[in-house]
Amino acid sequence: MVTCEPPKKSLPYCSDTASLHGGCRAFLVFPGLKMLSAQNFGESGKMKEYHYTGPVEHRFSPYAFNGGTVLAVAGEDFAIVASDTRLSEGYSIHSRDSPKCYKLTDTTVIGCSGFHGDCLTLTKIIDARLKMYKHSNTKTMTSGAIAAMLSTILYGRRFFPYYVYNIIGGLDEQGKGAVYSFDPVGSYQRDTYKAGGSASAMLQPLLDNQIGFKNMEGVEHVPLSKEKAVQLVKDVFISAAERDVYTGDALRICIITKEGIQEQNIPLRKD
C-alpha cells in the first residue's frame, strides 16, 4: 500500500522580506530547469543527475535570530545584569553597540535576547504597563510584580510567541538581590543566577560551578561579594566570546544596589 503526504494548504509566500511592500511574488522552482554550474559536474567530469522533488515552496518567517547573551546574578544586597552588545543576523553583524539590558525602574533591569524586533516591542509594552501601574497605584512596581506581569504578557502570545529569552534582575522588597528567568511563553521562576541567549548552554555550567558550588565536594559555600561577582561576570563573558560566534564586541554590566544602577562597559573580542 502506498501512502502519500497531503499537499500543503497554505499559499507560497515571499521568502524575501524586502519586497513585501510591492506585493507577494510566489517563488516556484519548476522541474525540468537544469542549472549548469561546476557543482553539477562530478569528479569524473560527467554531469551529475540533478533531482527535483517538485515545486519548492518558500515561506515568510516572522522571526529572525539576532543572537546575544544575557546573564544575571543575585547577591545578598545587589544584583548584576550583564549582556554583550553584538547584534547579528546569519553571517552578518548589524551593530557592535546594541546592548540587551534595559532599565525598567530604579531597582530593576531586564535583559532580552533573541529576536531584536520582539525585544523592542516587549520592552515598550512593559514600559507602558509600568507607567499605567504607577498612575493607578502611585507607587513603582516591585521586581516580583514585574516578573509576574511579564509572565502574563508573554502568555498572552502563547500561540504566536515573542521570540525573546528574558532575564530580570533587581532588588526585592527586602533589599536582597533577585533574578527571574523566563522561557518565550512565560514560564518563570526566581533564581540566584541565570544565563540566557545564544551562549547560555556554555555559561550556565560555569556559573553552577562557581556560584552554586555544584560538582565540588568539601568546599565552603562563601557568599558572593559584589567585586567578586563583577569579576566573575567579566571572565565568563570573555570565555563566551571565545567560543560563541554571536557573542562579542563589548560587555555592558548593570550593577543594581540600593544606591541605584551603575553601568560599566568592557570591550570584548571583535572577531
Taking the C-alpha atoms of residue 242 and residue 92, their distance in angstroms, rounded to an integer, is 17
Other C-beta atoms within 10 Å of 233: how many?
24
- Is residue 158 close enough to count as binding another protein by CB under 8 A? yes
Of residues 80, 83, 111, the one with CA closest to residue 97:
83
Other C-beta atoms within 10 Å of 8: how many?
9
Query: Which of 10, 37, 39, 136: binder of another protein (CB under 8 A)?
Result: 10
- Is residue 163 close enough to count as binding another protein by CB under 8 A? yes
- Is residue 155 close enough to count as binding another protein by CB under 8 A? yes
Q: What is the per-residue DSSP string for 86-146?
A: -EEETTEEEES----EEEEETTEEEEEEE-HHHHHHHHHHHHHHHHHHHHHHSSPPPHHHH
Query: Which of 14, 125, 149, 185: binder of another protein (CB under 8 A)?
Result: 185
Question: Residue 27 has which C-alpha cell?
Answer: 517563488
- Is residue 69 close enough to count as binding another protein by CB under 8 A? no
CB of 264 to another protein, least distance (A): 28
- Is residue 53 close enough to count as binding another protein by CB under 8 A? no
CB of 20 to another protein, least distance (A): 14
- Is residue 153 close enough to count as binding another protein by CB under 8 A? no
- Is residue 267 close enough to count as binding another protein by CB under 8 A? no
- Is residue 169 close enough to count as binding another protein by CB under 8 A? no
With respect to another protein, which residue has the nearer C-beta, 9 or 139?
A: 9
Query: Which of 65, 127, 228, 269: binder of another protein (CB under 8 A)?
Result: 65
CB of 186 to another protein, least distance (A): 5
Size of the site for another protein (CB under 8 A): 31
- Is residue 143 close enough to count as binding another protein by CB under 8 A? no
217-224 — which CB contacts under 8 Å span 24+ positions? 223/75, 223/76, 224/73, 224/75, 224/76
The region of 29-37, 38-46, 158-166, 248-256 touching another protein under the rule CB under 8 A is 158-166
- Amino acid in position 92: S
- Is residue 156 close enough to count as binding another protein by CB under 8 A? yes
In sequence order, what are the residues at sequence separation of 6 or more whose Cβ sits closer than 8 angstroms to the Cβ of residue 186? Answer: 150, 151, 152, 153, 154, 155, 158
- Is residue 27 close enough to count as binding another protein by CB under 8 A? no
Task: Judge contact between 178 and 171, C-beta under 8 A.
Answer: yes
- Is residue 228 close enough to count as binding another protein by CB under 8 A? no
Question: Residue 206 has which C-alpha cell?
Answer: 560555569
Query: Which of 72, 87, 110, 115: binder of another protein (CB under 8 A)?
Result: 115
List b or e across 186-213, with b for residues whose CB sees 16 or more CB atoms inside 10 angstroms: bebeebebbbbbbbbebbbeebeebbee
- Is residue 63 close enough to count as binding another protein by CB under 8 A? yes
- Is residue 159 close enough to count as binding another protein by CB under 8 A? yes
Interface ranges with another protein (CB under 8 A): 10, 59, 61-65, 114-115, 151-152, 154-161, 163, 181, 183-189, 191, 200-201
